[in-house]
Amino acid sequence: MDYGYFGFNHGALHDADSITRVVVAAEELGYESIWTGEHVVLVDPHEAPSPVPPETNFVDTIASLAFAAAKTERIKLGSGIILLPQRNPVVLAKELAGVDVLSKGRLLFGVGVGYVPREFETMGIPYEERGARMTEHIEAIRELWTADKPSFDGQFTQFSGIQSNPRPIQDPHPPILVGGMSGPALRRAVAQGDGWYGFFMDVDATAAAIKGLEDAAKSTERREGLDRLTVSVTPPGPVDADTAKRYEDLGVDRLILMRGFADMSASGGDAVDGIVDFLEDQAKLIGG
């Protein structure tokens, strides 16, 4: 089982020095991957279901992935997750292909539908269309990344007679991990994803989600050419060796660790020190 770290672009990690310190530490400690979080805007004043206060820092995902690529050499770079329905898929395909090229093939493309209606309202995107946009945007991006002569005729995106180069280095493209725990999200992961990503899930919730994926696979056609669906999970807080083994026994391929939900809105050097200490402590799992 591989280990990643979630959250290098928000909270206390929102400037060049703090991000550099954490991503370099993660690579040196042997982590397989580092992951961004994403909220383009935050609701002010704070109201549910927005997860954090409006003053919370979120450095743009693409900028953060590119910055981390320049500061590291081996560690994989994951979007955990990009809120895909809020994005223009043609522009996003270009941006992410650039990250994969400049990182020499280290991008992991995690996507989700989003769940905060006010965010969609701000961007002029109907909230009720987010599922349909997500499904279509994945295929539009895949077409741009793989087709010799890209062409797409969807409800939200249409193109033909174009080229978008350079393409990603990874063949056939960077892994696409579909996030979410709802029935539609699980079915979308089975149908379209190289992997599934569950956020802030304990062992029992993970077991239930994996059962949901297995059930979805019985009635959902998987896209031709996709390999086995991988499973990535962010657990709630530190994990000991016994708990890590329980995740592995369930069939989890990657644990994307975070110190706690409070880190998403933390600030100051003490928080950065705590994150590095957390990475060092949890790195004992990597060595077995």
Q: At 264, is the pLDDT very low, low, confident or very high (cuts 50, 70, 90)?
A: confident
Q: Is the pLDDT of residue 212 over 90?
A: yes
Q: What are the pLDDT digits (tens) for 133-148? A: 999 999 999 999 999 9
Residue 161: alpha-carbon gap to chain centroid? 31
CA distance 210 to 204: 10
Q: Is the pLDDT of residue 51 over 90?
A: yes
Question: Cβ atoms within 10 A of the Cβ of 284, count?
Answer: 12
CA distance 74 to 105: 10
Mode of pairing for the β-strands spanning 254-257 and 107-112: unpaired
Residue ranges covered by each domain of the chain = 2-286
**What would you measure as the largest C-alpha separation in the chain, in angstroms?**
54
CA dist 161 to 61, 147, 158, Å? Answer: 29, 12, 11
Alpha-carbon dihedral angle through residues 59, 65, 69, 73, given to the nearest 10 degrees: 110
Q: Is the pLDDT of residue 21 over 90?
A: yes
Q: What are the pLDDT digits (tens) for 77-109? A: 999 999 999 999 999 999 999 999 999 999 999
For the 2-286 domain, the top CATH level (class) is alpha beta
CA dist 162 to 117, 150, 158, 159, Å? Answer: 34, 7, 11, 7
CA dist 27 to 32, 34, 39, 159, 170, Å? Answer: 7, 9, 25, 39, 20
* pLDDT score of 17: 97
Average pLDDT of the segment spanning 55-62: 97
Nearest Cα to Cα of residue 65 among 22, 94, 108: 108
Residue 237 carries which side chain, given as an amino acid letter? Answer: G
Predicted model pTM: 0.97
* pLDDT score of 227: 96
Is the preceding peptide bond at 172 cis, omega within 30 degrees of 0?
A: yes
Helix axes 269-286, 16-28, angle to 10 degrees: 10
Q: Is the pLDDT of residue 156 over 90?
A: yes
Q: Is 274 exposed, middle or buried (0-12, 13-18, 19+ CB in 10 A)?
A: middle
Q: At 180, is the pLDDT very low, low, confident or very high (cuts 50, 70, 90)?
A: very high
CA distance 57 to 55: 6
Q: What are the pLDDT digits (tens) for 216-254? A: 999 999 999 999 999 999 999 999 999 999 999 999 999
- Both tokens of 136, joined, read 């279509």
CA distance 258 to 6: 5
The C-alpha angle 103, 195, 237, rounded to 5 degrees, equals 85
Dihedral sign from CA coordinates of 194, 38, 105, 257 = negative
Is the preceding peptide bond at 49 cis, omega within 30 degrees of 0?
A: yes
Q: Which position has the token pair 């493309």?
A: 109
